[in-house]
Amino acid sequence: MKRHRNVKIVATLGPASSTYEVIRALVETGADVFRLNMSHGAHDEIRARHAIIRQVEQDLDTPIGILADLQGPKLRVGTFANGEEELVEGAAFRLDLDEAEGDATRVRLPHKEIFDALEPGASLLVNDGKIRLKVRDCGADYADCEVIVGGTISNRKGVNVPDVVLPLAALSEKDRKDLEFVCDLGVDWLALSFVQRAADVEEARELCQGRAAILSKIEKPAAVKAFDEILSVSDGIMVARGDLGVELPVQNVPPIQKRLVRRCRAAAKPVIVATQMLESMIESPMPTRAEVSDVATAIYEGADAIMLSAESAAGQYPIQAVATMDNVAHEVETDSTYRDIIESSRKVAHNSVADGIVAAAREIAETTNVKAICCFSQSGTTASLVARERPRVPILALTSIRDTARRLCLTWGTNCVVTGEVDRFKMAVVAAANCARAQGLATADDLIVVTAGVPFNTPGSTNILRVAPCDERLIFNADPE
């Protein structure tokens, strides 16, 4: 299913989008990857949604990516005798390990690891940052705080600790069970929540054992500081602006987003910009102008994908939300300013033969009448390197491995096609020409660029490039042996 845009759309599934009819409509409207949020929904519900996605994939004969998003270690206060209390600015408030129900002076925080890491002066944010506490004194089982910003605190509200790298495992016991479940089920991407260090990613990779690609969510200041190390061990990144905007001043988030997107592009690893992109469309069929500008900004920056959360999972207008993203993407990518921004922010990387091959493919395609860049990629590396170049012509990613095609659904500009196995470059060129014509990217009179790694089935071996006609007869006449 050829898209008339390069940026990909990730749609979260939920109560509003759990039927075959809605999921198929989301794909036909523009969704490329579906997110299964493991924070919501029992395993039976997740299994049912997964099965529907694969059925839609089969019926539409197009690869569809599936991203399972693990909940991560959630920090929450305990319960209150009255259900809620009002905290007043300047008042004292204690967090402790006492199991008694809370009141206006204290509440349980059942996470000893936090007390072990806290120091006087640290900030604690409650209920998405609506309440802000400052630690004045602390010990192994308590933290005496001053209320800096007051408000209503109620049962089991979330707690953020922005100033401290917490000695928490990135994967809770629930996460480990969910990881095994979704990997056995067969997802393509696994998103890790609240990553703080590269070791968190390596732990998940060891548990995954190659069954899914690892995507790290950047939503803590510690992850921003350790980003280069996290990126080096991740297969992809999500700029999760919800918690990031709670733990950091909101004005810090846009420049961080821009920096992270550029580093991911330079590393040829897909990056998703997520959270509150079209928030008003949960209840309204029309987005705000500011939301449209936010979506457009991520596309202008060159993000691989943009994501819908509650808009498609629980909102009243899931299909309209995907259509809005699709329309914004089409408008942005046909704007001449878009190409100016994309090309001025391209980081030249000529560190290997593969880098040189894909750079040459882009330059040839853009200076001649070539209609598409076709890349054979068993592991996805060649296609990712071509996508890093952000070429002006379409990218046709061909692979005999369906899992690779599904994972590439998250990568900028890739039109993924599952083909039969090829063992000679000439047959790869023939297959590329046939696919380019079938996808409507070229006619028999056009030229394409074909890249691959020879010998075939060797990951990361991109080493050959050919400009070829799309007419199969001309390919054989030019290279009869």
Q: Domain limits of the chain?
A: 8-72+171-339, 84-160, 353-478
Model confidence band, residue 25 (pLDDT cutoffs 50, 70, 90): very high
Q: Would you state the pLDDT for residue 447?
A: 95
> How many angstroms separate the CA atoms of 329 and 5, rounded?
6
Which pLDDT does position 155 carry in this prediction? 95
What gap in Å lies between CA 431 and CA 437, rounded to an integer? 10
What average pLDDT does this structure show over 381-393? 94
- Give 277's contacts (C-beta < 8 A, 6+ positions apart): 291, 294, 295, 298, 306, 307, 308, 309, 311, 325
Distance CA 281, CA 161 (A): 30
Q: Average of pLDDT values for 454-481?
A: 74
Would you say residue 367 has pLDDT above 70? yes
pLDDT, one tens digit per residue, over 78-128 is 999 999 999 999 999 999 999 999 999 999 999 898 899 999 999 999 998
Give per-residue pLDDT as tens, 412-457: 999 999 998 887 888 888 899 999 999 999 999 999 999 988 777 6
Using alpha carbons only, how large is the chain's radius of gyration in Å? 24
- Overall average pLDDT of the 53-64 stretch: 97
Question: Would you state the pLDDT for residue 347?
Answer: 76
Percent of the chain's residues with pLDDT above 70: 97
Q: What is the mean pLDDT of the chain?
A: 93
Give the model's pLDDT for residue 480: 44
DSSP per-residue letters across 260-287: HHHHHHHTT--EEEESSSSGGGGT-SS-
Q: Furthest-apart CA pair in the chain: how many Å?
A: 85
> Alpha helix (H) ranges present in 418-466?
425-438
Q: How many CB atoms lie within 10 A of CB 180?
A: 13
In the Cβ-directed half-sphere of 144, how many Cα atoms lie within 13 Å? 5
Write the CB contacts of 222 (distance below 8 Å, at least 6 apart in sequence): 165, 196, 197
In this structure, the number of other CB atoms found within 10 A of the CB of residue 67 comes to 28
Class of domain 353-478: alpha beta
**The pLDDT value given to residue 349:** 64
**Helices H, strands E: what count in the chain?**
18, 21
pLDDT at 481: 45
3-state percent breakdown (helix, strand, coil) of the chain, nearest 5: 40, 25, 35
Per the structure block, which two tokens stand in for 78? 């305990």
Q: Closest Cα partner for 397 from 140, 387, 388, 267? A: 387
Pairwise CA distance, residues 7 & 30, whole Å = 10
Please give the class, per CATH, of domain 8-72+171-339.
Answer: alpha beta
Q: Which CATH class is domain 84-160?
A: mainly beta
Angle, alpha carbons 90-91-95 (nearest 5°) = 125
Round to whole Å and give the CA distance between 339 and 350.
Answer: 22
Q: Which amino acid is at 59?
A: D
- Print the SS3 string covering 22-70: HHHHHHHHCCCEEEEECCCCCHHHHHHHHHHHHHHHHHHCCCCEEEEEC
Query: What pairing do the DSSP bridges indicate for beta strands 447-453 and 462-469?
Result: antiparallel
Query: Could you give the residue numbers annotated as active site?
Result: 35, 76, 217, 275
How many CB atoms sit inside 10 A of residue 369's CB? 8
pLDDT digit string, tens, across residues 208-260: 999 999 999 999 999 999 999 999 999 999 999 988 998 899 999 999 999 99
CA distances (Å), 68 to each of 34, 137, 214, 230, in order?
Answer: 8, 40, 10, 19
Q: What does the CA dihedral 182, 186, 189, 190 come to, rounded to 10 degrees?
A: 20
Q: What is the pLDDT of residue 453?
A: 82
Expressed in angstroms, the distance from the first to the final Cα of the chain is 34
| 3 state SS of 432 | helix
